[in-house]
Amino acid sequence: MAATFDGCMREMFRRVGARYSEGFCRRDDWYRERSWTQGQEKEFREWMVAWVRRRHRWTKEMAEREATWFLFQYGWKNSPNGCLAVGRGWRCK
């Protein structure tokens, strides 16, 4: 299961232009330093459900439940109005 977790974390970081590092994730509030749109989160969720289903031969319901929990626990914050998280602040167009 650790390989699945690492794979999901790597993909989540990749989707926001970052590189996954366990050291980075040991910091407090690391998940607040990046953000993504609701569309990006939805696309990641769809990818994760399909990937976990193939990897573990789970039902769609099991994979969806796991993706929901993963995003709740580790997911990036959603950006308001297309703004991007920069450090602990926001940069808007």
Count structural domains, the chain. 1
Chain-centroid distance, C-alpha 83? 17
Q: What are the tens digits of pLDDT across the range 6-50?
A: 999 999 999 988 999 999 999 988 888 888 888 999 999 999 999
> How many whole angstroms separate alpha carbon 66 and alpha carbon 48?
9
Q: If pLDDT is split at 50, 70 and 90, which confidence band does 66 have? A: very high
Packing angle of the helix pair 2-14, 38-56 (nearest 10 deg): 150
What domain range is 52 assigned to?
2-91
